Homo-oligomer: A and B are copies of this chain.
Amino acid sequence: MTKAESKDNQQSSGHVAREVARLILTGVWREGTTLPREIELASRFGVSRASMRESLSLLKAKGLIASRQKAGTHVRARFDWNMLDEELLNWTLLALPTQEFAKQIMEVRRIVEPEACAICAVRGTDEDFARIERAYRGMDAAGMDRVAYAEPDLQFHRGILIATGNDFLIAFGATVAAALRMSFNLSSTNPGAPRKSLPYHRTVLDEIWARNPDGARQAMHKLMDLTEQNIVSAMSRQKKKDAEDENARTRRAR
């Protein structure tokens, strides 16, 4: 359900919003910058002013911009950007998938997920646990297929958050989703890496079933360690590869 819905908003307004977001995220339009007037933006993106305004309305909702009559529309301070928003996270992933971004996202996951896991072990219902176990089985069944592994992996982590019954922890699922998507993108250089996390997930699941909060917390913590390690090494590999590609291109250009 969630998967299907996230595919919505493929209308042109969504594309325009994403493009404006990209310009802001990449720093073309810095904090405090007043952006071109609506009519100009509309013509630049090839849409009507009404559609343009709908796109801007979307970005306003995410805290990226604010506008006042006559004064114009400006980029808000970074502090006001709602980085925990799923779309904004994905846009950032597309625009600036930097190592810094990866470290930050893993830092919050490390803070939130082990605790959520402990709460889950105490407060979750058997149905909650069954859902998590189904996700685990899905991961197992995926074998070495990276694509098939990704979805149940997300469901596993989301399942834990849902089991806490805390709406804010559940909303944190968007951040986890972005992190997993990042991992997935990076795993192309090392297709076997995702599967290695399976036994760690198994331990988490066992501790949850045992309703052992401390064990669950610790197990999730270890899973976070492994995940971060994978991401960091994959990123440096990617970086190296990019540098080589760049080199090759430069040589060819001569």
Residues of chain B with a CB closer than 8 A to A171's CB? 81-84
B57 touches A61 (CB 8 A): yes
Q: How many copies does the complex hold?
A: 2
A111 touches B105 (CB 8 A): no
Chain B nearest CB from A92 CB (Å) reads: 9
* Complex alpha-carbon distance, A31 and B115, angstroms: 28
B83 touches A167 (CB 8 A): yes
* Chain B residue at smallest Cβ distance from A54: B57
* Complex alpha-carbon distance, A204 and B60, angstroms: 34
* Complex alpha-carbon distance, A68 and B169, angstroms: 28
* Chain B residue at smallest Cβ distance from A11: B69
Of residues 165 through 179 on chain A, the ones whose CB sits less than 8 Å from some CB of chain B are 166-175
* Chain B residue at smallest Cβ distance from A165: B104
Chain B nearest CB from A162 CB (Å) reads: 7
Chain A count of residues within 8 A CB distance of the other chain: 53
Chain B nearest CB from A121 CB (Å) reads: 15
A246 within 8 A of B: no
B166 touches A104 (CB 8 A): yes
* Chain B residue at smallest Cβ distance from A32: B1
B68 touches A8 (CB 8 A): yes
B2 touches A60 (CB 8 A): no
A84 touches B86 (CB 8 A): no
B168 touches A175 (CB 8 A): yes
Interface bits A40-71 vs B (CB < 8 Å: 1, else 0): 00000000001001110111111100111000
A-B contact pairs, 18 of them (CB 8 A): A2-B77, A5-B80, A50-B53, A54-B57, A59-B61, A61-B61, A78-B167, A79-B158, A82-B86, A104-B166, A104-B167, A104-B168, A105-B168, A107-B168, A108-B112, A108-B166, A111-B112, A111-B116
